[in-house]
Amino acid sequence: MSAPDPWLDLRRLTAARIALGRSGVSLPTAEWLRFAQAHAMARDAVHSGLDAVALLDVLVADPGLPGGRVHSAAADRQDYLRRPDLGRRLAAGSRQALSAWPSVARDVVVVIGDGLSPVAAATHALPLLRSLATLLPTQGQRIDAVLVAEQARVALGDEIGAMLGAAAVLMLIGERPGLSSPDSLGAYLTWAPRPGRSDAERNCVSNIRPEGQPIDEAAKRLAWLIGAARRLGATGVVLKDESDRPALEAAGATPGLARPASV
């Protein structure tokens, strides 16, 4: 009888591809097939579409937020994948539609973008939004509008937020799929959004999915970041995420709000 393989117990603890074994100089057939399946799921996630109409219908009904549908300047999926710059700005028709919205100050505008994994946006964005919507009022904040964006990159939220007069824009977007995570959702928070903002001016909460960062935990982290951004008047490298250290606030400190010596 052969000795038990200690790697088998470790494999049960992670989705990472470890202890694959070998057959001669190659992978065993079972592992090769698992790899092929994971690769196909990641590829399908990138090329899948987002049913923006169905998602928007649910958003308007539950949690009953003002909503809209926009499209980036990328005409289709192939255009989107080949020209990332087009996914960062609005199509002319969407820009015109947003310009017709009432010109009022808005607190938080949420944009749900398909990104590189529309399945992640379709699966996790709404549960995250529901959880976040219950937390923000306790901090005196609110979500004023939710838009569904097709062929979207993260920076598309900057133009949307600026046009709608948002204090902050929260982009919920499908992240680049991995071989064990085809449905990972990312959340990017930008204070005072405007075209030209850099990634250094955002805070990101990533890998939001049941097998990664749980949705309720991500919502609590985002609610804390939104509150801290409001107090500081900025996001990004000047805002340190200390949402897991509530004791500091209870002691009178203001975590996460340390400004650099010069800005």
Q: What is the pLDDT of residues 122-143, one digit of tens each?
A: 999 999 999 999 999 877 788 9
Percent of the chain with pLDDT over 90: 58
Give 11's pLDDT tier (boundaries 50, 70, 90).
Answer: confident
Q: Which of 126-135, 153-162, 210-219 has the highest mean pLDDT?
A: 153-162
Sign of the dihedral through C-alpha 203, 209, 212, 216 = positive
Select the CATH number that applies to the domain covering 52-240 from these four: 3.40.50.11240, 3.10.105.10, 3.40.50.2000, 3.40.50.620: 3.40.50.11240
Q: What is the pLDDT of residue 181?
A: 81
User: Residue 185 above 90 pLDDT?
Assistant: yes
Which distant-in-sequence residues (6+ apart) come within 8 Å of 95 by Cβ?
159, 163
Q: What is the mean pLDDT of residues 63-87?
A: 90
Sign of the dihedral through C-alpha 85, 86, 87, 92 = positive
DSSP state, 150?
A: E
b or e along 143-160 (b: 16 or more beta carbons within 10 Å of the residue's beta carbon)? bbbbbbbbbbbbbbbbbb
Residue 104 carries which side chain, given as an amino acid letter? V
Q: What is the mean pLDDT of residues 42-67?
A: 77
Using alpha carbons, list the distances in angstroms from residue 229 to 33, 241, 252.
Answer: 46, 10, 18
Nearest to 226 by CA among 136, 148, 153, 154: 136
Residue 99 carries which side chain, given as an amino acid letter? S
Q: What is the pLDDT of residue 245?
A: 75
